[in-house]
Structure 1
Amino acid sequence: MATMNGITMEDRAKRLMEQADVLGSFTETPGQVTRAYLTPEHRLAHDQLAVWMQQAGLETWQDSVGNQWGRKVSLNPTQPTLILGSHSDTVRNAGKYDGNLGVIMAIEALAALSEQEFPFHIDVVAFADEEGTRFNTTLIGSSGVAGCFNPAWLDVKDADGISMAEAMRTFGLDPEQAGRDARRAEETLAYLEAHIEQGPVLEAEDLAVGVVTGIAGAKRFECGVKGMAGHAGTVPVNLRNDALCGTAEMITYIEKFAADKGIVATVGKCEVLPGAVNVIPGETRFTIDIRSLSQDTLEACTTQLLALLNKIADKRGLKFSSQNIYQAAAVPCHESLQQKWASVVETVTQTKPRFLPSGAGHDALAMATMTDVGMLFIRCEKGISHNPREQVTPSDVAVGLHCFIEMLKSFV
C-alpha cells in the first residue's frame, strides 16, 4: 500500500471521491449535476477548488477567461512551467467525474508532493469551459490559455440572450482582456491531463488505467434533405419524394460506412417537417458527427460520405445540403510523454500498459497548439459518461493518482 507524507493512496482516493461529491453539489438543477460557464455555480465550484489548492500549498488566481489556477512554486525554477489540469464545467444532467476528477487528482498529486522540490513551477488549472453547454462553443478555457481564444465568441449569446461578454462582466471579468494572458510555448514544459475513459475498453480488459495515444479529430455537419410534402392518403408510394425515407436510407448508410472505414459517425439529431401524422415529410434536418484518430482518414471519409449521401438524394429525387458547423484536428499525444506514462503505469500496476485513443475531445486539443500533451485514462463503469450513472471506483482512482504522482516525479 503506497504511502506519501503518511497518507495512503487509498485514503487520498477516498478524499478525491468525497471532493467529487462536493463539486457535484454546485449545480443549477437540484437533483442533477449541471454547471455551465460563467454561472453562479461555476463561481462556487472554483471558489471551492481554490480552497483545496491553497490547502495543498499552492498559490491561486483566476485568469482572463475564468479559469482557476494553482501553482506549486519552485524556489529555483530553471525550466519552463509544467501544466496539469482538466475542466470543471459539465454537460446538462452530467456525472461527477468527467473533467472534475482530473482537476482534483492533479491537486491531490501536488499535495502528496508538497515536500518535494522541482526545478520548475507546476501549475494546476481548472478549465472553465470545455463542454460548451452554455454558449455552444467548446474549449473556451483552454483556448484562452493556449492563445487561440476567438474574440468573435464574445458576441455569442446563450439561450436567454445573454452574450458571453455580458456574462464575463457579471462574473467579474473584463471581456476586452479575454485571452490576453495566454501562455507562451517557450514558457511551457508540457501539459498533462488525467481523465475518465468515457468508453468501455479498460473495463472490458480489466485494467484500471490506460495511456492515451491521441485525440480523434472531429467534424460536425448540419444537413438538410428536401423533397415534396403531400397528402399521406392520395400520393402513391412510387410517386413520392419522401424526405424522411431518403434520410432514413442515409442514416443507415452512415452507420455501415463508418463500420467499413473503421471510424465513428453519429446522427444525433433529426427533425422532420412539417411533422404531421397525415403528411408525407417534405423536409428533414439532421446532424452528422464524424471522427477519426487519423486526420487524413477523417478528411477522406468526410468527402466520400457527403458525396455518397448526395447520390442517395439524387436517386430519390431529393435535394441534399450540408454545412460544416464544427471541426477539430486530430491530435497525437507526444511520443515521449506516452512512454513516460507507460513506464509509470507498468511500475505502479505491474502490468503491461494499454495504449488507446480517445474518441472524445479534451482540453488537450487546444493545449496541443502550444505545447506537448500527454493523457492518462482511468476506467469508468461500463464506459458510461455524460450521464448521472457515470462512476469510478476508489481503487482505480488510487491507481490513477499513484501513476500521476510518479509521472510528475519522472520529470526531475
Structure 2
Amino acid sequence: MKINQKRFQEHIETLAKIGKIGETGVCRLAHSKEDREAVDVVRLWMEEAGLDTHIDGFGNLVGRIEGKEKDKPILMLGSHIDSQPYGGRYDGTLGALGAIEVVHTMKEEGITPNRSIEVICFADEEGSRFNKGVFGVRGIIGQLEEGELERKDKNGVTRLEALREFGVEPDLSQSPVYKPGDIEAFLELHIEQGPVLESQDKPVGIVSAISGPIWLTVTLEGFAGHAGSVPMNLRQDAFLGASIITKEFNELVRNEGTPNTVGTVGSVQTFPNSRNIIPEKVEFTIDLRDIDLDARTKLEKKLYEIIERTSKELNLEYSISEDTRSDPRYCADWIKDIMKTEDEQLGYDSPTLMSGPFHDALFMSYISDYGMIFVRCEKGISHNPLEFAEMEDMEKGVELLYHTAMNIAQS
C-alpha cells in the first residue's frame, strides 16, 4: 500500500476519543466544544500533511495544497467529523481522515499535483442538533435558507450562538464560495451504513448514486384533558393521530414503495407530556427517500392524504413544514470509470452499489461531478456505538481513494 497504515489507524483511534461515550460510541454534536476540539486536532493533521488551513464562516475546516497549474479546476476530497448524539467512530471520520492521508501520502512521495487539492471537513452534516443538516456544504454551494441561523437546539441555543461559541463569526454573505466549473471533481469515502458489501463479502464498493431524501416535520394539535374523565369518543388526542399516521406511513412504504424506498418517523415531541393528560400537541419528523424520484413523489402525495384524513377523523389541526428536499443524484460516469480502473489494478473486484443515506457529496453534485467509495461495515450498523469497520477494509478504501485522486489530480 502507498498510504501509511499506522498513521491512518492512529488518527482514527485518536479522534474516536474526542466525545467518546461508553466503550465505542461518539457524541460530537455540530458546533459543540467536542466538535471544536476535534476540528483543532484534525487541523494539525492537515498541516502536517502540507495543507494550508482555515475555518470558514460556516464552520467548515478547509485545507489546500497548491497545484502546478493554478488555473485548473480543483480536486476536492473530504467528509465530516461531527456525529450523531449516539453515534459511532467511523461515520464521516473515515472520509475526512482518509482524504488527509491521501494528501499526506502524496507529500511523502514527493508529488506536487498538477491541479490544486482541497480537503474539507464539512460542518454539521448530521443535522441532529438543529434538525437540519448538511449546513456547511450548503453554505459553500449557495443553498442556505432563510432562518438558518435562528434554528434552535433542544436547549434553546440558536445556530448563530453555537457557531460563535465554536469560534466562528458566521458570514452567510460568503455563500456561495464555489460555482460550477471551480471544482473538477469531489470525492468522498464513507462507510456503507448498510449490509450490501458484507452480504457480498467485499471490503470496498463503488457508489452509483445517492438516494434523494425528504425531511418533514408534522405538528398535530388537539385538546388536553384529564385522562380519567374525558370519554374516548370525545377526545382530541394528538398522539393517537401521530401513532395512526406513523403506522399507515410504514405500511404505505412497505406495500407501495420500490425495493429502495425507506420511510422513518425518527423524533417525537409531545405536550404536555404527562401520564394523566391527553396529549394536546405532538410534533414528529418524517424521513422519506428513494433513488426513484417518481416513486417518491407518489408516496409523498399519499402521505399527505394520510395526514389530512387522520387529522379530520380525530378532529385535529395539522401543519407540515419541509426541512430538506433533495433529488436523487448520480455519480459521474467518468469518475466511476477511473475508480473501476484503479480498483482492477488493486485487485479488489469491488461491486457497484447505491447509497440510501445522503452525504455531503449529494449537495456537491449541484456544482461538481462527484464520486463515492464505500467501505464495508459490520451488519450495516451505523448511527450507533456498535458501528464497526475493519481497519484493513478502511485502509483498502483509502488506497482506492488515493489512486483515484492521483489520477484526477494529475490529469
Contact 1:28 1:41 survives alignment (8 Å): no
User: 1: distance between equivalents of 2:147 and 2:239?
Assistant: 36
- The answer to whether residue 125 in structure 2 is matched with residue 148 in structure 1 is no
In structure 2, which of residues 394, 398, 404 is the aligned counterpart of residue 397 of structure 1? 394
Partner of 1:18: 10
User: 2: distance between equivalents of 1:175 and 1:283?
Assistant: 34
Partner of 1:135: 130
Q: Secondary structure of the equivalent of 2:284?
A: strand
- The answer to whether residue 18 in structure 2 is matched with residue 37 in structure 1 is no
Contact 2:221 2:281 survives alignment (8 Å): yes
User: 2: distance between equivalents of 1:68 and 1:283?
Assistant: 40
User: 1: distance between equivalents of 2:184 and 2:286?
Assistant: 37
In structure 1, which of residues 395, 406, 409 is the aligned counterpart of residue 406 of structure 2? 409
Partner of 1:293: 291
Q: TM-score, normalised by structure 2?
A: 0.86
User: 2: distance between equivalents of 1:239 and 1:147?
Assistant: 49
Q: Secondary structure of the equivalent of 2:147?
A: helix
* Alignment of structure 1 residues 256-405 onto 2, 5 Å: 256-260=251-255, 261-262=257-258, 263-271=261-269, 284-314=282-312, 316-319=313-316, 321-330=318-327, 331-351=329-349, 353-405=350-402
In structure 1, which of residues 53, 57, 61 is the aligned counterpart of residue 46 of structure 2? 53
Contact 1:200 1:380 survives alignment (8 Å): yes
User: 1: distance between equivalents of 2:22 and 2:94?
Assistant: 21
User: 1: distance between equivalents of 2:305 and 2:239?
Assistant: 19
- The answer to whether residue 66 in structure 2 is matched with residue 73 in structure 1 is yes
Shift of 1:252: 2.5
Partner of 1:125: 120
Q: Alpha-carbon deviations, 1:84-135, whole Å to 9, x = none?
A: 0001211113211111110110111122222223220011111122112443
Shift of 1:312: 4.7
Shift of 1:29: 6.5
Q: Secondary structure of the equivalent of 2:341?
A: helix
Shift of 1:367: 1.4
Contact 2:215 2:325 survives alignment (8 Å): no
Comparing 358-367 with 387-396, which one deviates more in the overlay? 358-367
Residues 232 and 216 (structure 1), Cα distance of their counterparts in 2 relative to 1, 3 Å cut = same
| Unpaired segments ≥5 residues, structure 2 | none
Contact 1:13 1:401 survives alignment (8 Å): no
Residues 284 and 67 (structure 1), Cα distance of their counterparts in 2 relative to 1, 3 Å cut = closer
In structure 1, which of residues 99, 105, 110 is the aligned counterpart of residue 98 of structure 2? 105
Residues 140 and 220 (structure 1), Cα distance of their counterparts in 2 relative to 1, 3 Å cut = closer
Partner of 2:204: 209
User: 1: distance between equivalents of 2:9 and 2:344?
Assistant: 24
Shift of 1:149: 3.5
Comparing 61-70 with 369-378, which one deviates more in the overlay? 61-70
Partner of 2:192: 197
Q: Secondary structure of the equivalent of 1:119?
A: coil
Shift of 1:19: 1.0
| Unpaired segments ≥5 residues, structure 1 | none
- Count of residues in correspondence between the two structures: 402
User: 1: distance between equivalents of 2:65 and 2:337?
Assistant: 25
User: 2: distance between equivalents of 1:251 and 1:199?
Assistant: 23
User: 2: distance between equivalents of 1:165 and 1:399?
Assistant: 39
Q: Which amino acid aligns with 1:25?
A: K
Shift of 1:271: 5.0
Shift of 1:232: 6.6
User: 2: distance between equivalents of 1:278 and 1:39?
Assistant: 36
Shift of 1:78: 4.9
Q: Alpha-carbon deviations, 1:288-344, whole Å to 9, x = none?
A: 211112233222210122213434555x45446340331221222222223322333
User: 2: distance between equivalents of 1:241 and 1:160?
Assistant: 29
Comparing 248-257 with 81-90, which one deviates more in the overlay? 248-257
User: 2: distance between equivalents of 1:185 and 1:191?
Assistant: 12
Identity of paired residues, percent? 34
Q: Which amino acid aligns with 2:90?
A: Y
Residues 131 and 346 (structure 1), Cα distance of their counterparts in 2 relative to 1, 3 Å cut = same
Contact 1:64 1:181 survives alignment (8 Å): no
Q: Secondary structure of the equivalent of 2:8?
A: helix
Comparing 47-56 with 99-108, which one deviates more in the overlay? 47-56
Q: Alpha-carbon deviations, 1:353-377, whole Å to 9, x = none?
A: 3222222121113212211121111
Q: Which amino acid aligns with 1:267?
A: V
User: 2: distance between equivalents of 1:240 and 1:305?
Assistant: 24
User: 2: distance between equivalents of 1:306 and 1:72?
Assistant: 49
Q: Alpha-carbon deviations, 1:253-312, whole Å to 9, x = none?
A: 222211221211112234566666666666654332111122332222101222134345
Shift of 1:203: 1.1
Q: Alpha-carbon deviations, 1:155-195, whole Å to 9, x = none?
A: 33444444333444444433246635712322211111001
Residues 57 and 291 (structure 1), Cα distance of their counterparts in 2 relative to 1, 3 Å cut = same
